[in-house]
A and B are shown apart, each in its own frame.
Chain A
């Protein structure tokens, strides 16, 4: 295996973990997903086309494995577990509220349908363009647009209902 390929893989690991965390919910499940993706990528390294985005290729692999897992388990998480919500040790009230708000975001994300969650993570969290997200999800750009819109509206509604959005705004204004 060429060192450069592994180096690229290691470089993109933090983002793969973030993406997988959003998809799978828990830390262990997410890391299992990333590990499986690494192994698959290495096994299929010859399929990667030089000149194309390596991160997009890896996102696609992670997504494919995740979908396979969902199908095989016939499981859709209703609410992400709280395992990875540790964002710091500061015990101040504001910090605690911020932590709660971020936790609510993850829970709200976990309640979205899988395809909406995927679109939201690729575009809003990972910063990919609609076109890039569409290629990874293997759907038309219009489908990504509609999934994103439904996801963003639903997420906002959940956060407003839970108060996370207001706490976040208050926190930002306090700073």
Chain B
């Protein structure tokens, strides 16, 4: 797979799972700090990107979770100080057998619409810069000329747009997971995991 295809694969299969994976880690390994989770997730992206053949990965969710679990194990083995309960938590950490991404994949259009709303919610000038660069296909320099601002400022606005979108996607998916958990609980009889 060439780099563009790899990006697309990661964008389609891993990005939408990130929020759920973060929650999974936070819920089951309570001794992890938010910064530990950032570290694990970033390193997991690197591992997945470097995987020899992305196309053979049939269940991206399970794969992503397995990579995270392995990284957690490795880190704990190498760390000088490991919180006491950590090893036990990792041992009990099992990888959800269902594929949480499935439902999401089916509603590609909804996902597009929600991303589109995130762009609408950007601060005015930030959104304008983003749209000129990404929707109208101008270069950063052309955007700077069109709006009469410096290229440096264009870069700053784009940086803000990317950060906001990445953060918002994480917390939005977070909400969706919470809803799922809630609805499984009202069911009463079933655990969310088998």
| B is a partner of A | no
